[in-house]
Amino acid sequence: MRLGRFGSVLLIICLFSSIAAAANFSFTGTFAKDDDLQIFLFTAPSTDVLLRTWGYAGGTNINGQVIPPGGFDPILSLYDATGGLGALSPLIDTNDDGAPGTVGIDPATGAALDSYFAFTNLDILKVYAVVLTQGGNPAVGPTFGDGFLQAGLGNYTGGAFGCGDGIAFCDAGGNQRNGQWAVDINGVDTASGAGVPEPASLISLGMGIAGLAFLKYRRRA
């Protein structure tokens, strides 16, 4: 009985310490060509997580950095990456353009093409991957191994959207853009743009899973 109580206390401590660590992360960078992609990994300390981009219309990100307008039309795709992002990691959802009022309007084109994801049902014991791609290059799904529509085609947007064959970063309206991107991941435990979650996040996640496994064993015993 004492072990069972200890396991319960351990699990509660792990979960609440993770919730207390909720933070916001901002990332910026530049694509070299249209079919590039950028992967971010994060752990969720609660069910509520916000993902959004700033690169197209610009604005001030969560860290107070002013992002200039002019970047490409972004797409965000969310995968369950528990155990590592691999070929069989399932696609959860994808977002091309945020709903009206959730993202800014580009001053040059008058378009609101940044991405905006507000999740309220994520699992706090999982690791997630969000993949940034350019408009016209969505996830094929239903798994990460299925890839992205324009993978390997280089600068596909010029010919597809009317800026001229081989020209990069043309949006669907025929507007010339550039390769800059900016992504916020808000309300998470840790986040990384390098493909590996921070060690502290893995420790917390592992302790929580171990606590659940222990409780399940005790119930069976």
**pLDDT of 5:** 54
Q: Do 70 and 213 touch, CB atoms closer than 8 A?
A: no
Instruction: Report the b/e string of 199-219 with b at 16+ CB within 10 A.
Output: eebeebbebbeebeebbeeee
Whether the pLDDT of residue 87 is over 90: the answer is yes
**Class in CATH terms, 22-209:** mainly beta
Average pLDDT rounded to a whole number, residues 197-205: 37
Kindly report the pTM of this predicted structure. Answer: 0.79
Domain boundaries, given as residue ranges, for the chain? 22-209
- Is the pLDDT score of 26 beyond 50? yes
Under the banding of pLDDT at 50, 70 and 90, the label for residue 125 is confident
pLDDT digits (tens, 9 = 90+) for 140-180: 989 999 999 999 999 999 999 999 999 999 999 999 999 99
Residue ranges of alpha helices (H) inside 30-167 are: 157-161
